[in-house]
Amino acid sequence: MKSAVGTTVIANGQLVDGNGGEPIPDGCLVIEHGRIVFAGERDAAPTVPADATRLDARGGTIMPGLVEAHFHPTYFNVAALEDLDIKYPVEYVTLLASANAKLALECGYTAARSGGSLFNIDVWLKKAIEEDLVPGPRLAASGREICGAGGLMDWNPEFRKIGMEGLILLVNGADEARKAVRKLVKDGVEWVKTYPTGDAAAAEVNDHHTLCMTFEEMHAVVQTAHNHNLKVTGHCRATAGIKNALLAGYDSLEHATFIDNETLDLLLERDVPSVPALYFEQASVELGPQYGMSQAVIDGHQETLEGGAESARRILAAGGRLGMGGDYGFAWNPHGDYAKELAFFVDYVGLKPLEVLTCATRTGAEILGRGDELGTLEPGKLGDVLVVAGDPVTNIEILQQRDLFLAVMQGGVIKAGRETGERKE
Ligand SMILES: [Zn+2]
């Protein structure tokens, strides 16, 4: 991805650096050749060349670009789970994924970790974004996800004879788990996404208290993935699945819904981050009836919501790390609504806005594996910045108002927001 040429100065706003400290009221950010060289009080800013580009934050906020830590670029706002796999051919879903990536960037998300993709679309989408062919967040790709046969993601009936090959690599036993990871190594993913547990969405045989993989399968996934320098994460609802994942050596957890004392200790021991993705549950409870969800499914989502919120509070209070991401891409939880997750964590879970902003920036970048160059506004890091005409520290809801975004920048280049196109390069 090309960085900006020359110097850019952003001032006349408060600066939130992503580390969780109080905002600097009269802040200034200086970016040189795409990298931050200064982030602090305007009075202390270095002198810049006369031809530097100046961006006025208009009394608003200068903050790091947001990171969506559980992004499904190929989920195209489907109204039924099955549509994720067979509704359209891969060619069309690739175009939809590209449109979703563009939207995410316009929503202030300058980086994202894929939580799984149809075929290998996210790997190639990442390349297209890196080469500036299409706009989108800097991506970490996951490709197809791994699930035990008969588990949550194995829904196409046998009589159709089509398997789940587009979306999921189904495994029976440790050997097949290793084989699936080796396939993903060739595909070029960075994260291996697995399904240790079921979910409220499949109330009958794979609900949120069931397991979809054995410990042996999960351990084989981790050993093989780590051998090839890939990281492993997994959809973890049930306590037993969380425990299996942590003992198997997972690098992050998705949801970590029903954490108990033992699993919390295991999580803290290796500082494993978790991405709760809670607004999805709320949206499912609220809008489920109009999308034909059964009462059992809705009740399950309510239980997941409450359990997940309690686990998130406990993890953060105990010094653990949370990433913000939301499983967006369903009709009742569509792409573009990403920042609803942030407001939900303030309003329902009870976190402070500054805590949520750190989860959505610094921790997200750490989960991506790029904490050294993304996620905070500090010298040496890439100029991935969100400039917003408002104060998300007192009202985090404003991050849902794209018309308030003055600039969404990657490497100092303005990619979206009101200032788009005005900057010389
Ligand atoms: Zn997901």
Q: Of 331, 346, 368, which residue sits at a domain end?
A: 368
For residues 129 and 12, state if they share a domain: no
Distance 373 CA to ligand 1 centre (A): 25
- The pLDDT, as a whole number, for residue 284 is 97
Q: Is residue 398 within 8 Å of 65, Cβ to Cβ?
A: no
Mean predicted confidence (pLDDT) in 130-140: 98
Distance 422 CA to ligand 1 centre (A): 37
For residues 214 and 327, state if they share a domain: yes
Give, in degrees to the nearest 5, the angle at Cα 261 between 260 and 265. Answer: 115
DSSP structure string for 350-401:
---HHHHHHIIIIIHHHHHT-TTTSSS--TTSB--EEEESS-TTT-GGGGG-
Distance 383 CA to ligand 1 centre (A): 28
403: which 2 tokens?
């018309």
Q: Is residue 425 part of a domain?
A: no
Q: Is residue 356 within 8 Å of 69, Cβ to Cβ?
A: no
Mean predicted confidence (pLDDT) in 149-165: 92
Distance 40 CA to ligand 1 centre (A): 37
Distance 328 CA to ligand 1 centre (A): 8
Q: Is residue 337 part of a domain?
A: yes
Grouping H, G, I as helix, E, B as strand and the rest as coil, residue 287 is helix
CATH assignment at residue 404: 2.30.40.10
For residues 187 and 306, state if they share a domain: yes
Distance 72 CA to ligand 1 centre (A): 7
- Whether 48 shows a pLDDT value over 80: the answer reads yes
- The pLDDT, as a whole number, for residue 425 is 41
For residues 76 and 59, state if they share a domain: no
Distance 116 CA to ligand 1 centre (A): 7
For residues 27 and 85, state if they share a domain: no
18 is in which domain, residue-wise?
7-64+375-416
Q: Is residue 17 part of a domain?
A: yes
For residues 40 and 153, state if they share a domain: no
- Whether 421 shows a pLDDT value over 80: the answer reads no
Q: Is residue 422 part of a domain?
A: no
CATH assignment at residue 125: 3.20.20.140
Distance 176 CA to ligand 1 centre (A): 22
Q: Is residue 126 part of a domain?
A: yes
0.85 exceeded by the pTM?
A: yes
Q: Which residues partner with 112 through β-bridges?
A: 68, 139
Is the Cα dihedral 274, 278, 280, 285 positive or negative?
Answer: positive
Rg (alpha carbons) of the chain, rounded to whole number = 21
Mean confidence (pLDDT) of the chain = 96
Q: Is residue 400 part of a domain?
A: yes
Distance 33 CA to ligand 1 centre (A): 36
Backbone angles phi and psi of 43, in degrees to 5: -60, -30
For residues 111 and 168, state if they share a domain: yes
Mean predicted confidence (pLDDT) in 322-351: 97
Total domains present in the chain:
2
For residues 59 and 152, state if they share a domain: no
How far from chain centre, in Å, is Cα 15? Answer: 23
Report how far residue 63's alpha carbon sits from residue 384's, in angstroms, rounded to the nearest whole number.
9
Put the strands of the sheet holding 7-15 in their side by side order: 35-41, 24-32, 7-15, 53-64, 385-388, 405-410, 413-416
- In the chain, the percentage of residues whose pLDDT exceeds 70 is 99
Mean predicted confidence (pLDDT) in 248-267: 98
Distance 308 CA to ligand 1 centre (A): 14
- Whether 424 shows a pLDDT value over 80: the answer reads no
Q: Is residue 409 part of a domain?
A: yes
Segment among 81-90, 117-126, 308-317, 382-391 with least mean pLDDT: 81-90
For residues 248 and 381, state if they share a domain: no
Minimal CA–CA distance to 39: which of 59, 17, 61?
Answer: 17
84-129 tens-digit pLDDT: 988 999 999 999 999 999 999 999 999 999 999 999 999 999 999 9
Q: What is the DSSP letter of 78?
A: B
For residues 348 and 387, state if they share a domain: no
Distance 255 CA to ligand 1 centre (A): 9
Distance 378 CA to ligand 1 centre (A): 31
Report how far residue 413's alpha carbon sits from residue 425's, in angstroms, rounded to the nearest whole number.
8
For residues 224 and 327, state if they share a domain: yes
- Whether 26 shows a pLDDT value over 90: the answer reads yes
CB atoms within 5 A of ion ligand 1 belong to 115, 327
For residues 235 and 348, state if they share a domain: yes
Q: Is residue 309 part of a domain?
A: yes
Grouping H, G, I as helix, E, B as strand and the rest as coil, residue 216 is helix
Q: Is residue 371 within 8 Å of 365, Cβ to Cβ?
A: yes
- Whether 296 shows a pLDDT value over 70: the answer reads yes
